Structure 1
């Protein structure tokens, strides 16, 4: 009986600890674009996945927005991440051909927001106390 209870507890803990992220790519599904309706039941059913730990690495949610230079074209990809860039919630990478804005987060379904809204919110959260000290 004790073994059955222990296995039941482990099964519940295993299902509770999986991180849920939106996983999609606007290249294959335009519903994944930056103006993402995360409250839509159809999109939730189509795009939410459980991100399980892989090789001892804890997953996080990620959103990447690729802007192609000299074009109005952009692509949004939402997925589970496993190689986190430490020290940043959002960061940007530039090359001659594209600009890539990446945001990474650790809460369920946190990769639903537009990239820049997280960056702006973070900027204000840091800037307001600094400015307030000088007033």
Structure 2
């Protein structure tokens, strides 16, 4: 996996399950997110990097970055389309404070995928994982 990722708030989504359901409703369309700023470290990000989503104050899941596509919006403002793999991978929840835009996330700071962690944790309901992570127990 890459040494560099992006992290971004997933505004308007309350759970990984809700994000998965939203993606399923839009199946057949390109999966992605449009943001104002274009990352400068493209080669590092596209070498296996992911976009980690912060949901309700915790890093909750990730999607692999496939392409960074600079574009101009209808309003003439430069933007960047983050083209993502449609697969949403839950990660071990980790508290993360709110911020605007996106940030780089070094691999050493990224939480592991849930499937790589204990099977018992992966099987827990999302709300329980969120509470345990907030308490620093997972």
Query: Quick check: which has more Rg, 1 or 2?
Result: 1
Normalised by the length of structure 2, the TM-score is 0.27
Higher-strand-fraction structure: 2
* Normalised TM-score (structure 1): 0.27
Q: Whose RCO is larger (CA < 8 A, sep 6+)?
A: 2
Higher helix proportion: 1
